[in-house]
Amino acid sequence: MDIRILLVEDSEPTRRMIRAVLQTRDWTICGEAENGLAGVDQFESLRPDVVVLDLAMPGINGIEAAHRMSILDPHVPLILFTLCDIEEIKPVASRAGIYATVSKERTLELVDTIESALEERSSAGQNMQ
List the domains of the chain with CATH numbers.
3-123 (3.40.50.2300)
pLDDT for the residue numbered 129: 44
Q: What is the mean pLDDT of residues 116-124?
A: 87
Backbone angles phi, psi at 76, to 5 degrees: -85, 120
101, β-bridge pairs: 80
What is the percent of the chain where pLDDT is above 70? 95
pLDDT in tens, 71-106: 999 999 999 999 888 888 999 999 999 999 999 999
Yes or no: say if 7 and 18 are a contact pair by the CB < 8 Å rule.
Answer: yes
Q: What is the mean pLDDT of residues 59-76?
A: 96
Kindly tell me the sign of the dihedral angle through the C-alpha atoms of 42, 32, 102, 10: negative
- C-alpha to C-alpha distances, 90 to 49, 95, 99, nearest whole angstrom: 22, 9, 10
pLDDT exceeds cutoff 50 at 49: yes
Rounded to the nearest 10°, the torsion over CA 93, 94, 100, 104 is 20
